[in-house]
Amino acid sequence: MLFYTQLPLNRHSQERKDSNWLLQKQTSNSRWVLVKNNQSLFKKDQPELVFLNYEQVRNLPLWDAIFLGAMENSGYFAIDVSEVADDVLETYTEQHEFKDIRSYGMVVDMALGSIASLSRGLCHWHATHRFCGRCGSKNKLIEAGHARLCTNDACKHMTFPRTDPAVIMLVTHVFPDGVERCLMGRQAAWPEGVYSTLAGFVDPGESLEQAVIREVEEEAGVQVQEVEYVASQSWPFPSSIMLGFFAKTNNPEIYVDKDELDDAKWFSRKDLNDFSEWGHQEPGYKLTRKDSISRYLVETWRNQGE
C-alpha cells in the first residue's frame, strides 16, 4: 500500500456545509490535530500523532478549524497554530513536539499518517490563499475549511483546495545481454548516493502520458514508449498529486541535462539488491524513501522479476 493514501475518515462533503451539524461534531467527542508551520504535533520522540479533545483546544482559534472527516461518531479537525503565541502553545509542547510528518513517514501508522498529511495539506492551502486572486480582498474560510470566499461583496469569488499534478515514472529497457534495467537519476541536493525515478510537473495543455514522455526526454535525453499508468499518491509537500507510470524505451543512451539532474544510470534488479536505505551513512548507492511512490514503483518492478 502507498503511504498517505489510507485515510480512514468519511469526509461528509454535504453535511459539513451545515453549521449546526458541524458545531455538534466539534463539541461532541471530537478529536483535534494541531499544525504549525507545516509540522504536526507528535508525542516527543515517537511516531504517534497527538489527538486532543475539545476542552483542550477551546483557547485556540476554532473559527478557523478545518473539518477533516469523521470516524466512529468522532469528528476530526485540524487547527493551524502557526500564528499562536509560543506561551499559549507551551501547554501542548511540554510532552509533545511539532515534527514534519516525513521524519516519521516510514514508520507512522498509515491511517494516522494520512490524517496528518491531509491536515498539513489543507492548512498550507489556507495559509497561501488568504487573499482573493481576482480583486485582492481578504478571503475567509467557509464550508468547514474546504473552500474560501472573498469578503468583497462586489466579488465574492470562491476558491477551492488545489493539488498540482506531477508524473513520476520508472523507465525500463532490455539490454543486449538479456537483462532488464531501470533508469534512475539523482539531483545534486539529495543525500549522497540516493537515486530515484524521474519525475516532473504536468504542463498546461498536455496529457499525463505526454508529460511522462517530455520529462524523461528533458531530464535524461531518453525517448520512451508504452507509457502505462500504475498508481497515484497524495503528496502534500506542499500540494502535489503524484501519478505513477511505467514506460519503456528502445534506445537506452542517456544525455543528462545538468540543469535537471546531477546524474542518471541504468540499474538491474540485481544491482538494486546492493542498494542501502535512505538515511544510511555508509558509502554507495541508496534507495529513495519507503513512503514515496518512487519506492513503490521500484519495488513493484523489482518484484515482477522474481
Strand-by-strand arrangement of the 158-159 sheet: 139-142, 147-150, 158-159
pLDDT at 280 over 90: no
Chain centroid offset of residue 77 CA: 19
Q: Which one-letter amino acid corresponds to residue 148?
A: R
Residues 189-200: what's their mean pLDDT? 95
Residue positions counted in the chain:
306
Instruction: Tell me the chain's radius of gyration from C-alpha atoms.
Output: 22
pLDDT at 287 over 70: yes
N- to C-terminal Cα separation, the chain: 19
Query: 256: buried, middle or exposed (CB in 10 Å: 19+, 13-18, 0-12)?
Result: middle
Are the C-beta atoms of residues 70 and 10 closer than 8 Å to each other?
A: yes
239 Cβ contact partners less than 8 Å away, ≥ 6 residues apart = 121, 124, 125, 162, 163, 164
Q: How far is residue 32's CA from residue 249's CA, in Å, rounded to a whole number?
A: 49
Q: Nearest CA to 243 among 291, 294, 190?
A: 294
Q: How far is residue 195's CA from residue 289's CA, in Å, rounded to a whole number?
A: 10
Q: Which one-letter amino acid corresponds to residue 142?
A: I
Helices (H), 146-242: 208-220
Q: What is the pLDDT of residues 75-85, one digit of tens each?
A: 999 999 999 99
Q: Nearest CA to 120 among 237, 285, 286, 17?
A: 237
Q: Which residues pair with 235 in a beta bridge?
A: 240
What is the per-residue pLDDT for 281? Answer: 80
Confidence of residue 306 (pLDDT cuts 50, 70, 90): low
* Its pTM surpasses 0.75: yes
Q: What is the pLDDT of residues 141-155, one digit of tens each?
A: 999 999 999 999 999
* Domains contained in the chain, CATH given: 15-128 (3.90.79), 131-161 (no CATH), 164-304 (3.90.79.10)
pLDDT at 86 over 70: yes
> What is the per-residue DSSP string for 131-152?
B-TTT-PBEEEEGGGTEEEES-
Q: What is the pLDDT of residues 6-28, one digit of tens each?
A: 999 999 999 999 999 999 999 98
pLDDT at 278 over 90: no
Q: Nearest CA to 267 among 296, 239, 301?
A: 301
Q: What is the pLDDT of residues 103-134, one digit of tens each?
A: 887 889 999 999 999 999 999 999 999 999 99
